[in-house]
Amino acid sequence: MYIFRGPVIVFILALFSLLSTTSQRSTCSEAFSKLKEDRHFEQCMKLPTLGAEFAWNIQEDHARQVNQIDVFFGTRLHAEIGWLAWGVNPTNELKMVGTRAIIGISMPNGTRAIDTYNVTAATKLGCGLQPLKIDFFKNMKIEYSDKNHYFMISASLYLPEPEYNISSLNHVWQVGYQSNGMEPLMHPTSLQNVDSAETINLKTGVSEGVGQHRHHLRKMLALRLKPRRTDEYRKFWNLYHHCLGYALLAAISVDIFLGIGILRPLDHAWKWSYFGVLGILGVIFLLFEIYSWCKFLNQKEKNNQEQRSQNK
């Protein structure tokens, strides 16, 4: 096995590097593109975390040194209730503290509302986050699409230069699942929730996130590589995941077999029991494999049928 291990590792690394190029930013999903077009937004991008998508328009005014940006932010929330935040951070760091945000809240009693908030160090420490008027946010709106379960917030911002530079604007977003009236409560702190900030050039649509900077290592680990269900890359990921799984299974089986060989046990019982175990596992594996392929093909057929009946 020790001769095989080198090539296996190279193979795995090659797959990883392939993936990190294919999991780059893509344009907005079809559903979100439709939503932003209905609202006359032009530029659009998928954000790297929380299934969020972001659309915007800019109107520069160098004479008055105030740039108007219209923003439209949305994601599919897992629950009907919760909150959705998007904001800008004028401090030089890509982080939560210092963010001026709009937060849309969907309450358990069905009321939806939006307001402006100043997220401070006290917020991070757990002091309640209450609405606070921030003058440059206008025309705030929260919407919900019953059709595809998007929660959306939008606003117009009048950003003074040079405090806010629309060529390198720090923007921050977040979702949470609990609120107390208009006070959003603590959000989860999964990798997705703490990587939800980046510096964006609104003129070109190019961005750089915390993910690329702070968490390089995490990428080798592939924890954040898994594309979202809706991504077109998802199918490549699935394929890769499958192949990697098979390769590892095969490598492990052979490895153990060779291990037994090296130890040279006195009788052959070890070897034969191992064959027996492998055989049983093999049969189980085959059955599951047949089952999941049938399920996959059935599902595909069903989807095709649905598509056909929708097209009629």
Ligand X SMILES: *[C@@H]1O[C@H](CO)[C@@H](O)[C@H](O)[C@H]1NC(C)=O
Residues present in the chain in total: 312
CB nearer to ligand HEM: pick between 29 and 123: 123
Q: Closer CB to ligand X, residue 132 or residue 220?
A: 132
Cα separation values, 273 from 6, 259, 270, 276, Å: 28, 14, 5, 5
CB of 41 to ligand HEM, least distance (A): 20
Q: Is 203 left (phi over 0), alpha (psi -120 to 50) or beta?
A: alpha
Query: Rounded to the nearest whole angstrom, what is the least distance from the CB of residue 65 to ligand X in the complex?
Result: 8
Among ligand HEM, ligand X, none, residue 120 binds (CB under 5-8 Å by kind): ligand X
Establish if 181 lies at the interface with ligand X (CB under 6 A). yes
CB 74 within 8 A of CB 35: yes
Q: Does 278 bind ligand X (CB under 6 A)?
A: no
Name which of residues 134 to 153 contact ligand X (CB under 6 A): 134
List the single partner that 228 binds among ligand HEM, ligand X, none, CB under 5 to 8 Å by kind. Answer: none
Residue pair 103/184 in contact by the 8 Å Cβ criterion: yes
Identify what 49 binds: ligand HEM, ligand X, none; CB under 5 to 8 Å per kind. Answer: none
The residue range among 26-34, 38-46, 106-114, 214-222 that interacts with ligand X, by the rule CB under 6 A, is: 106-114
Q: What is the DSSP string of 157-193?
A: EEEETTTS-TTSEEEEEEEES-EETTEE-----SHHH
- Verify binding: residue 185, ligand X, rule CB under 6 A: no
Q: Which residues pair with 53 in a beta bridge?
A: 46, 74
66 binds ligand X (CB under 6 A): no
Query: H or E stretch including 55?
Result: strand 53-59
Decide which of ligand HEM, ligand X, none touches 253; Cβ closer than 5 to 8 Å per partner kind: none
Least separation in angstroms between residue 91's CB and ligand X is 8
Q: Which two tokens stand for residue 106?
A: 């969907």
Q: Which is nearer to ligand X, 107 or 244 (CB)?
A: 107
Cα Dmax for the chain: 90
Amino acid letter at 56? W
Pick from 57, 120, 193, 230 the residue near ligand X by CB under 6 A: 120
Residue from the set 48, 51, 74, 98 that interacts with ligand X by CB under 6 A? 98
* Chain Cα centroid distance, residue 41: 22
Residues making contact with ligand HEM (CB under 6 A): 85, 87, 95-97, 99, 101, 103, 119, 123-124, 126, 129, 172, 174, 184-187, 189, 194, 196-197
Residue given tokens 């904001």 in the structure block: 87
Which of ligand HEM, ligand X, none binds 111 (CB below 5-8 Å, type-dependent)?
Answer: ligand X
Q: Is 59 exposed, middle or buried (0-12, 13-18, 19+ CB in 10 A)?
A: exposed
Distance between CA atoms of residues 176 and 35, nearest Å: 22
26-65 binders of ligand X (CB under 6 A): none
Give contact residues for ligand X (rule: CB under 6 A). Answer: 98, 107, 109-111, 118, 120, 132, 134, 161-162, 165, 167-168, 181
